[in-house]
Amino acid sequence: MAVDKDLLVVMNTIDDTKNHMSEGQYIKTCDSIKRIHKKLSRPKVVLPGFGVSFPLKMFYMFSYAVSVVKIVEGIKKAVTR
Per domain, the residue ranges of the chain are 1-41, 43-81
Query: Residue 45: how many CB atoms within 10 A of its CB?
Result: 15
What pTM was estimated for this model as a whole? Answer: 0.50
41 Cβ contact partners less than 8 Å away, ≥ 6 residues apart: 1
Q: Determine what percent of the chain is predicted with pLDDT higher than 90.
A: 12
**pLDDT for the residue numbered 22:** 92
Average pLDDT over residues 33-47: 75
Average pLDDT over residues 53-64: 69
Q: What is the DSSP letter of 37?
A: H
Residue scoring higher pLDDT (29 or 47): 29
**pLDDT for the residue numbered 49:** 65
